[in-house]
Amino acid sequence: MAEAEEEAAPWDRGTDTFISNIDGDISKTYGIGLRDFLLNPEKFASQKDIDQKAKKIIDAVNAYFTNAKNGLKEEQDELAKTLENADAQTTKIDGVIQTKAALSRVPYIKPVMVDINPSNREEIVIDQYNNSVDALIAKLINASNYIADITTTYNNHNIGSWVFSGNRTYIVSINLPESAVTAIDDLQSDVDDIMDTAYQRLLLAMEK
């Protein structure tokens, strides 16, 4: 008899690989497979104390991420230096942009969201402010209808990003090199969202 096909997961391959890798440990400890719980939390709603067990599963998964990062001391130290530099460059460049925008009477805003046409955009990633970047900023401002600050935050550090919107949209961003630490953080963020959704679905099923 052919084995039943595994249910397709609504998340990306990297996330699915992580979930599959720890599924056995979670199942052995809590009697519930992680993948099964995340895909079909409602099926466990009638189990005794399932809400507490689900919280323990979530804590156990987060412990995997914590342990992984604890083994990356050198990478964390290097990332801290990179973030400090990115934060300093963000402050410097943002001040330059605001000053030049005010002189040119181009609106500078900090929107909740900007909807950018992907077919009419160019992205420019820079490491640090210099005379060439200053000249680029001036040129982009003169060609813009408005400037939007879409800077993001990572570990309490600002990673600058600005939209210059005109006949063509340009996005200037501070470079944040990839690292094992940020990769783990990105994966954890995705898994946290998946686990939170599954937990909320479980609670709703328990109320029925």
% of the chain surpassing 70 pLDDT:
97
* pLDDT for residue 178: 86
For residues 199 and 54, is the Cβ–Cβ distance under 8 A?
Answer: yes
97, pLDDT greater than 50: yes
* pLDDT for residue 7: 67
In angstroms, rounded to a whole number, what is the distance separating the alpha carbons of residues 97 and 84?
A: 20
How many CB atoms neighbour CB 180 within 10 A?
Answer: 16
Side-chain-side CA neighbours of 169 within 13 Å: the count stands at 15
For residue range 61-85, what is the model confidence (pLDDT) as tens digits?
999 999 999 999 999 999 999 999 9
Identify the bridge partners of residue 121 per DSSP, sorted by sequence position.
169
Q: Where do the domains of the chain lie?
A: 13-70+180-207, 73-174
With CA atoms as reference, report the closest residue to 198 among 62, 66, 35, 7. 35
Indicate the pLDDT class of residue 116, thresholds 50, 70 and 90: confident
Residue 49: strand, helix, or coil: coil
For residue range 137-149, what is the model confidence (pLDDT) as tens digits?
999 999 999 999 9
* pLDDT for residue 177: 86
For residue range 177-203, what is the model confidence (pLDDT) as tens digits?
889 999 999 999 999 999 999 999 999
1, pLDDT greater than 70: no
* pLDDT for residue 30: 94
Alpha carbon distances (Å) from 131 to 79, 93, 134: 26, 11, 5
For residue range 23-45, what is the model confidence (pLDDT) as tens digits?
999 999 999 999 999 999 999 99
Q: Which of 5-9, 33-37, 132-136 has the lowest mean pLDDT?
A: 5-9
* pLDDT for residue 139: 97
